[in-house]
Amino acid sequence: MWLTAPFDPATVDRINRAQAGVVADPVHPLVCLQARDGRHALAGGYVGTLVAHRQGLVCPTCGHVQSWLPAAVLRQAERAGDVSAAAQAMRIERTRQSALDDFRRLVRGGQLSAQPMVDTLEAMAPRVSTGADTELALAA
């Protein structure tokens, strides 16, 4: 089964999580067809990683748009891994931070089509609990 663009915002987010490998059981991301030309950047651990947008998967380097993807990519983003939850959370956070650094570098370099990936990865940042949060939880 195939999914075709346009993608809704929730689907864009799920695809970008899978593409960045910040899921329980990551696999190789979809990459640009031209990724081996020597111009494409390394981001998220792979050269030419495509970034999900509403109109499809976009290459931040050359602008190539792929308007389809296997539905298995989304199923993979939702699948639970076989390792402990704590180990999985630590691996995902390390992967998230590394990918975020890579995609931010692309945006700073003028490859603005990488911004949706930055947005997805920033939204996943662990939240630090404050004393006020704890007091609200205890009061409830």
Distances (CA, A) of 21 to 6, 100, 109, 132, 137: 22, 11, 22, 33, 32
How many domains are contained in the chain?
1
- Distance CA(31)–CA(45), nearest Å, equals 11
Contact 44, 96 (CB under 8 A): no
Name the residue range of residue 7's domain.
2-139
Task: State the pLDDT at residue 82.
Answer: 61
pLDDT digits (tens, 9 = 90+) for 81-102: 566 788 888 989 999 999 999 9
pLDDT at residue 75, rounded to an integer: 82
pLDDT tens, residue by residue, 22-50: 988 888 999 999 999 999 999 999 999 99
Alpha-carbon distance 74 to 98, whole Å?
Answer: 22
The answer, yes or no, to whether residue 134 has pLDDT greater than 50, is no
Confidence (pTM): 0.77
